[in-house]
Every structure is written in C-alpha cells, then in structure tokens.
Chain A
Amino acid sequence: MQLTNKHSIASALAMASCSLLSQTVSATEPVPANDDWNVDAAIMYYGEQERVQAVEAIGNVQKAFGDSSLLDMKLVVDTLTGASASGAVAQSQEQTFTRPSGKGQYNVAAGETPLDDTFHDTRVQLSANWQEILNPDWTVNAGVYGSKEYDYFSLGLNAGVERSFNKNNTTLALSGAYANDTVDPVGGRPVALSNMVFRQDYDNDEAYQAAFDATRLEGDDTKQTADVMLSLTQILNRNWLMQANYGFSSVSGYMTDPYKILTEVDTNGIAQGYRYENRPDSRLKHSVFLMAKGALDSGVVDFSYRYNTDDWDIQSHTLETHYRYYFAPNFYGQIHLRYYQQQAAEFYQPFLKADQALPEFASADYRIGDMDAYTVGLKFGHRLSGGHEMSYRIEYYQQNPKNNGFDIPGELNNYDLFPAVKAIVAQVSYSF
C-alpha cells in the first residue's frame, strides 16, 4: 500500500515537473492552468547623457488552450528622441553639417563631438507565437513578427522544435527565424562614400538640390536575416542546470547606416570634407552562449558567458550575472552585472585620411569599433495578492569606445575622439 502511494506521488510529481521543465528552454513561460490569461506589462525609460532618450512600453499576453497549447502575443511601442553621434570628429572650429534629408543644416560647436540632433522615431512591433506540446517528449512552436518605424519595416517568421531526453533532464531545441526588412531612409540612401554637399557652395536651391540628389540612390532597399539556433539544456543536480546555445546568423542586403558619416582629415587633423559611410552587404555571425543557473535557499543566481564572432571581424565577449535574494517570501531584491568587450570591425576607422586612397568599406560608427561596456543594475519586486507582481528596476550602462590603433594626426589629439556614453535605464513592470 505504502509502496503504491509512494509510486503514485512520485509519478504525479514526475508528470508535474516534466511539464514545467519542458517549458524552460522554450520562448514562453510555463503553461498556466487551463484557459488562463497571463499578462506582463512594462514601461522602460532609457536615457543617455545629452544624447538619445527612449521610452519603451511592452505588453505580453499568454493564453493557454487546454494542457498542450499556448498562444503568446506581444506588443511593443517605443519612441526615440535626442541626438546620436554622426561619426564625424571634433574640430577647433565650429562645424556645419547638412541634415540627412538634405533640407537644412545644423552646427556643432568647436571642440564638441558632432551629434545629429534630428534623431527621432516611433516604432510599433507586434508578434505572436503558438506553442504545441505534442507529447511528453516533443514540443513545437511557430510565430510571426512585424515592426514598423518611420524609415524601416520588418516582417519575420520563426519556428522551433524541442525534444526531451533522459527523464526530462536533457532538452535539445532547434529554432530558426527569417526576416525581411525594408530600409527607406529620410532623404534617400547615400551613394557609398559620397561627399556631403552644402547649400552655401551653390548659387541657387536648384543647383544645390541637383548636387544633393547626385549623392542619393533611388528607392528603398532590403535586408534578409536567417537565424538558426541549437540549444542544449541539462539539469546537473537538484539545484543547478546549464544551457549551451550555438547560434548562426546570415544577413544579406543593406546594412550601411544611412545617417553615419566620416570626416576626411588632412595631415594636421583638419577636416577637408565628410563622406557617407559604406558597409558590406553580407555578414555571417556565430555565437556561443553558456549559462549556469542555480536555485538557492533564499534566492536564485545565474552566470553566463557569450562569445560572438563574424566575418566583419567583430568579436565580443560578454559576462553576465543576476543574483536574486528573497528578503521575505513576497519581496526580493536583485543585482544585475554585465561586462561586454568588443573588437572592431575590419572596416571601422574613426576618420578618413585625405592623402590616402578611399577604402571600399568604411564606417566611423563607434558601435562597431573597439569598445567595452558595463552594466550595474538593481531590481526590487513584490508579490501582491492574487498572484500579481510589481517590480522596479534601475540600471547604469556605460560604453567606453577605444582607439583601435589609429595614429591621431595634428589637432585631433586635443579632443576626446572616443568619448564614453553613459546611460540610465529605469523600468516599472506589472504582471497579473
């Protein structure tokens, strides 16, 4: 009798833990009770010192249909304002730049890093994913994705399959996604490495407009992204599990940033002109991600390492950890630490030299230059009655771009060509 009871409890626990565990590597949360709705919502502010400010609202709804089906829908709306680095370098004189639209100009004071202050956009993103548990060993999912911003439109499909082994201690997952993006920049796509033109160099508006149009290509362009990921999740012991992912991504099409430029300088570091950047039209990326996650008596902790490499020669290492501590059963605090280090793309250069031949590809975008960055974050959350949860998060993010070995000529030595970017992230989340 006792043996029978023990067996039935064990099998009930096994069933329960199997169904919970099988969800851990999927893109969705554990399947809630039948016909249940789960809503997660958050609003986030991201603000850089004197640069980009963003507000992002996100809502995620899950609806279970029976024990085996789950619909997951997400809506994201974000708005961006502020200024971003154009790629040009500081000078001892005030600098004038033509706006990306070709209509109007803006000035940057002597000694200042040139920022393009026309940066503003609103983005709406919708996605939906369906997950189906076929049997205790197999789970499949499929989804659609779409996002629209003023100068960019993206449509995507994704699908995945998961297989559990070894009494559900091991889960292998394969997922893939394909996206087709359309880029239609303000003012048109610049001709690769063409010179920025200025109104004052022309006698009338028509002559200027004709010269500006000569630096632009007709129509929009597209970019295709195909992603594949293989994922292994393994329970190590009663408290720890690990995950290992390998991701491959192939991108082809228009990847140049149409709003970024490079300063062309002489041997004294004095600007002779500005050219629009140009990036290759294909990129193959690989990533390896390893994570360990542990259940502690009064909390939970994870450690992860990620390695990225691609055929643009950008390599990066990312170390990250989250540690959560429960002060009380319904109140926790959490620390988030992240360190990121990146090696520049082979065509990254902080400026062009007027006495040297133009390269085929060049970009002064610090985001693909040598850089390290760190994040320090704190989060507090409390559970409310009825299973609701409220949480608050604040983080500090700092990027430290670096010179990737370029000789800095003349007066450019007087300025910080690789200024740090400092940002605050603040977020409030509510789940019910």
Chain B
Amino acid sequence: MKISINKRLVTCVLLFSAASTLTGCSSLGVEPWEKDQFARADMALDHEKLDLSLDDHIYFSKEGTSGGRSLAGGGCGCN
C-alpha cells in the first residue's frame, strides 16, 4: 500500500511539474492589450464564489474527498 501511495504521489508531482514547465514557455499567453476577454467579470476563476462555496459544503459533507479547486478545509462536523 505504501508503495502505491508513493507512486500516486510521484504521479501527482510529475503532473504538476509538467504543468509548471508551462511557465517557462514564453509562447503561451497574450500581450497586455489582448486581455480584453480576461477582464470580463464572468472569466474570473471565482466568479460564482457563493455557488462554489455552497457546492463545496454539500460535497464535503456527502462525499469522502474534498478540496482541489480550493483548500480541502474542514470546519464542520458533517464529515
């Protein structure tokens, strides 16, 4: 079991490292004056934060895993 968890951990780290290498890729991204779409309120990652917060609370209390988009957290006795 320990080995499989370590394997999973390695997979996670590798995935994240792969994503991180994107930062070094200067071909990604746009010039500052091309960011009009990202100035839209509905393009903010937390645009519907009340909905996301309520959803997180439901899934946190009804399912065995939590977090991902934001911190896994705790703070209620529901799980």
B15 CB to closest chain A CB (Å) equals 6
B3 CB to closest chain A CB (Å) equals 12
Q: Binding site of A, secondary structure by majority: helix, strand, loop or mixed?
A: strand
A285 cross-chain contacts in B, Cβ below 8 A: 65, 67, 72
Nearest B-chain residue to A9, judged by Cβ: B33
Whether A295 is near chain B, meaning CB under 8 Å from some CB there, is yes
Q: Are B23 and A246 in contact (CB under 8 A)?
A: no
Q: Are A233 and B45 in contact (CB under 8 A)?
A: yes
Q: Are A20 and B38 in contact (CB under 8 A)?
A: yes
Interface size on A, residues (CB 8 A): 115
Q: In the bound complex, what is the Cα–Cα distance between A18 and B23 (angstroms)?
A: 17
Whether A117 is near chain B, meaning CB under 8 Å from some CB there, is no
B9 cross-chain contacts in A, Cβ below 8 A: 286
A-B contact count (CB 8 A): 252
Q: Are B50 and A60 in contact (CB under 8 A)?
A: yes
Whether A340 is near chain B, meaning CB under 8 Å from some CB there, is yes
Q: Are A232 and B67 in contact (CB under 8 A)?
A: no
Give which listed residue, A158, A232, A287, contacts B20 with CB less than 8 A: A232
Q: Which residues of B contact A (CB under 8 A)?
A: 1, 5, 8-9, 12-13, 15-16, 19-20, 22-23, 26, 28-51, 53-54, 57-59, 62-77, 79
B2 CB to closest chain A CB (Å) equals 9
Nearest B-chain residue to A234, judged by Cβ: B22
Whether A411 is near chain B, meaning CB under 8 Å from some CB there, is no
Nearest A-chain residue to B62, judged by Cβ: A367
Q: Are A40 and B50 in contact (CB under 8 A)?
A: yes
Q: Which of the segments A100-108, A191-199, A236-244 contacts the partner chain?
A: A236-244
Q: In the bound complex, what is the Cα–Cα distance between A58 and B57 (angstroms)?
A: 12
Whether A361 is near chain B, meaning CB under 8 Å from some CB there, is no
Nearest A-chain residue to B47, judged by Cβ: A29
Known: A17-B32, A247-B68, A427-B51. A183 touches B77 (CB 8 A): yes
Nearest B-chain residue to A26, judged by Cβ: B46
B12 cross-chain contacts in A, Cβ below 8 A: 246, 286, 288, 307, 309
